[in-house]
Amino acid sequence: MENVIEADVAVVGGGLAGLFVAIGAAEQGARVVVMEKARIERSGAIGGGVDHCLAYLNEGEPWDTRDGYLAFVKKAAAGAVDIAVHEKIYCDELAAAIKRMERIGCPMHDPATGTYYRTRSFGAPGAYWINFDGKNLKPLEAQEARRLGCEVLDYVSATKLFIQNKRIAGVSGYNIRTGEFVAIRCPAVVVATGATNRLYETPTGMPFNTWLCPYDTGAAQALAFDAGAELANMEYVRMTIVPKGFSAPGLNAFTGEGATFINALGEPFMTKYHKLGDRAPRNVLVHACLTEGAEGRGPLFLDCTKLPADNLHQLKTTIGTDKDTLPDYFEQKGIDIAEEPFEVEVSEGMQTGPLEVVGSGVKINSQCMSTVEGLFAAGDCADQMKVVHLALTGGYAAGRAAAQYAKRSPGDVLAAAEVAAERSRVLAPLDRRSGVHYRDIEDVLRRIMKQYVGPMRTEIGLKTAARKIERLKGELSNLKAANPHELVRGLETETLVTVGEIMAKAAQARRESRFIPYHYRLDYPEQNDAEWNGQIVVQKSNESITTEFRPFS
Amino acid sequence: MADQLTDGPQIGDTCVGCVVCVDLCPGDVLRMEGDKAVVEYADECWWCGVCRVECPVEGCVQFKFPVAMMKG
C-alpha cells in the first residue's frame, strides 16, 4: 500500500480546535499528524482573525465564578448540555487555556495594563466576553503545533474513517493541490472540522457568502456518522443577524457595545421579546427579527448612533478583527455606523450548536471520545463544544485524552483492500466524461433545507425534506469534477447531503420546540421540559438513520 | 452571476508573485498565472481577508463586492 503514514493520533481539521488538539496530544509525547484541507496558518473559521472568547475570571462578582457560570449554562442550555462533560472539558481547563494563549503569543488581556476588556451580550448574566486581538491567533497556534513536532498534511481533505474490530484503524485523505491520496494508520483519530455552514440558501443567493466559514461542510459529522458514531443536537438550525447583504460576524460586538435594534416604525422592540432586550440570547434576537418582519414591521436596523464615544471607538477600531473585510463593505456601501442606523437581516441557517455554550455534532463523553472506540471529537463538530472558548479548552483536553488512549491501545489493521476501494471511490468523479457539477446538487439541497428544515418546521415538511434529500443522494454517484479543486468541493457536497438528511430526521424526532426559532415546530410550538429535557441521538443502523430521545441522567 | 466572476479579491499590478496569498487562502480560490496571483474561483470567496492580511505589498489586494451584496 502506498502513502500510509503511521501515527499515534491523527487530527482531522487544523482549525482553531484541531491545532489545540494537536498541541495537547504532542505535549503528551504522541506522534501527531494533522490533516487540513487548506494551510494551518490561516485555515478554518478564524483563519482571518477573531476578537472574542467567553470566560469567567473570578474578578469579584458572583456570576464571574465557576458556580455562577455553571448555573447560567445549566439554565440557558437545558436539554442540550451535558453539564458533567461541560465542567470537565471547559471549567477544569479554563485557567490553563488562558495561560496557554499568553504563552503562544496571543494574550487575551491588555499587555500594558493586565486587564481584560469585557462585554455582556447574548443572555449572559454578566460580561463573560473577553474582547481581544486575535488577528494572528491562527499563525501563532500553527507555529506552536509545528514547533512541537506535529506532522502537518496541508491541503489534504479527509474522506473516510476506517474501523476494524469496532475501533478506529485509520483515516484517508485527498490532496486538493496534487491529487494524491493518503492514508494514516493510527489508534486514535480526533475529528475537528467545525460546523456545517454551506447547507442553507443564503439571503444574497451566493452560497459562499455565509456568516461562518463556507469551507466547513460537516466532514466530521458525516464521517463519524458513517463510522457508526452517535451524533446529538443535530436538529437545531442556527441563524444570526447580519448586515443586509453581507453574512458577516459582528453581532456580538454590536450588541455587546450597546447597539439597539429598531424596526421600520423607528421603535426599539427587543424588550417586547426578552427582559434583557438587545442583550437577549441570540436565538431570541433572531426570533424577534423574524417576527417583526413577518408582522410587517421590517426593514430592521441596528442603531449605534447613540453609543457613548468610547464604545463607538472600540467598535470602529475592532470590527475588522473578526471579519477583515466588514469595514471595506461598510465603506463601499457608504455606511457610517456613527451617523445612521444600518439595515440588518436574518442570516442563512447552519448546523451548529444552539447556544454559545453547547454544540451540535459528534456525541462525546467527558474524555471527548465518541461512541466509537478511538474516535474523538473537538471544536464545533462535537455536541458539547462550541466556538473559541471551547476550542481552546476542550480542544486541548481532547488531544491529551486521545494521546493517553493511543498509549494504551495498539491500534488495528488498516485493511489495504478497503483503502484501495476508498481511493477508487474518491477519484471516480475525475474520470467521468459526463455528470453533475457539485454546485447543481448543492443548490437544490440548500433550497430544500431552507424551505423545509428552516426556522419553521412541521412533521410533514420535515418528512418531505427527507424524501427529497434521499432522492437527491442518487445524484452523488454522477458527480463530475474537472480537477482536484472541484473534486474536493464534491467531497464537501457529499458531507453536506449527509448532514442535511440527518438534520431533517433529528428534527422530526423532537416533538416540541426548543431554542426557538432554532427548532420551532409549528405542530408542537411549546417547549416541553417535562418530556423533552434531553438530546435527540442519531445513529446509522442498517444503512438508515435511527433517532432516539435520551434524557440527561 | 456574471459580476461574481470579476468581483471578489482584486490582486493589483503591484503583485510581486510571492505566492503567499495562493498558499494561504482557506478556500483555495487563488492561482498563479505566470508570476502574478489571480482569482480562479471568485464565487467561492468567503471575504475572510487572509490574502490581504498576508500580502507583503501595501494596497495590492483590494475587495470589490458584487452587485448581489451591494445593492440588495
- Structure ipTM: 0.94
pLDDT given at position A422 = 98
Tell me the three state secondary structure of residue A6. strand
Q: Is B50 on the interface with A (CB under 8 A)?
A: yes
Q: Is B6 on the interface with A (CB under 8 A)?
A: no
Q: Do B53 and A325 touch (CB under 8 A)?
A: no
**Omega of the bond leading into A125 within 30 degrees of 0 (cis):** no
Nearest residue of A to residue B23, measured between CA atoms: A39
- Rounded to the nearest angstrom, the minimum Cα separation between B69 and chain A is 4
Query: Residue A431, class by beta-carbon neighbours within 10 Å (0-12 exposed, 13-18 middle, 19+ buried)?
Result: exposed
- Rounded to the nearest angstrom, the minimum Cα separation between A72 and chain B is 33
Query: Phi/psi of residue A146, each to 5°?
Result: -70, -40
A19 in Cβ contact with A145 (< 8 Å): yes
Tally A–B CB contacts below 8 A: 105
Per-domain boundaries in chain A: 4-236+351-416, 240-347, 424-528
A358 in Cβ contact with A80 (< 8 Å): yes
Q: Is 3.40.50.720 the CATH number for B2-65? A: no
Computed from CA positions of residues A292, A297, A301, A305, in that sequence, does the dihedral angle turn out positive or negative? negative
A379 in Cβ contact with A390 (< 8 Å): yes
Query: Residue A439, class by beta-carbon neighbours within 10 Å (0-12 exposed, 13-18 middle, 19+ buried)?
Result: middle
Q: Do B28 and A323 touch (CB under 8 A)?
A: no
User: For an interface test with A, which of B1, B20, B28 has the most A Cβ atoms less than 10 Å from its Cβ?
Assistant: B28
Q: Is B57 on the interface with A (CB under 8 A)?
A: no
The rounded distance, in Å, linking the Cα atoms of A358 and A195 is 12
pLDDT given at position A1 = 54
Beta bridge partners of A424: none
Q: How confident is the model at residue B7 (pLDDT cuts 50, 70, 90)?
A: confident
Q: Is A210 on the interface with B (CB under 8 A)?
A: yes
Is pLDDT at B1 greater than 80 in this prediction?
no
Nearest residue of B to residue A245, measured between CA atoms: B69
Q: Is B31 on the interface with A (CB under 8 A)?
A: no
pLDDT given at position A304 = 97
Q: If phi over 0 gives left and psi between -120 and 50 gives alpha, with beta otherwise, what is residue A224? A: alpha
Q: Rounded to 5 degrees, what angle do the CA atoms A159, A161, A164 make?
A: 150
pLDDT given at position B3 = 39
Total residue count of chain B as it appears in this document: 72
pLDDT given at position A2 = 63
From the first residue on, what is the mean pLDDT of each consecutive set of 10 residues in chain A (553 residues)? 88 98 98 98 96 97 98 96 98 98 97 94 95 97 98 98 97 95 98 98 97 98 98 98 96 94 98 97 98 98 97 92 94 96 98 97 98 98 98 98 96 93 97 96 98 97 98 97 97 98 98 98 97 97 95 84
Q: Do B27 and A214 touch (CB under 8 A)?
A: yes
Q: Is B67 on the interface with A (CB under 8 A)?
A: no
Indicate the residue type of A177.
R
Per-domain boundaries in chain B: 2-65
- Rounded to the nearest angstrom, the minimum Cα separation between A203 and chain B is 9
- A424-528: CATH, from 1.20.1250.20, 3.90.78.10, 1.20.58.100, 3.90.1180.10: 1.20.58.100
- A240-347: CATH, from 1.25.40.10, 3.90.700.10, 3.40.50.300, 3.30.590.20: 3.90.700.10
pLDDT given at position B59 = 96
pLDDT given at position B4 = 40
For A4-236+351-416, CATH number? 3.50.50.60
Tell me the chain A residues in contact with residue B50 when contact means C-beta distances shorter than 8 Å.
42, 47-48, 324
pLDDT given at position A192 = 98
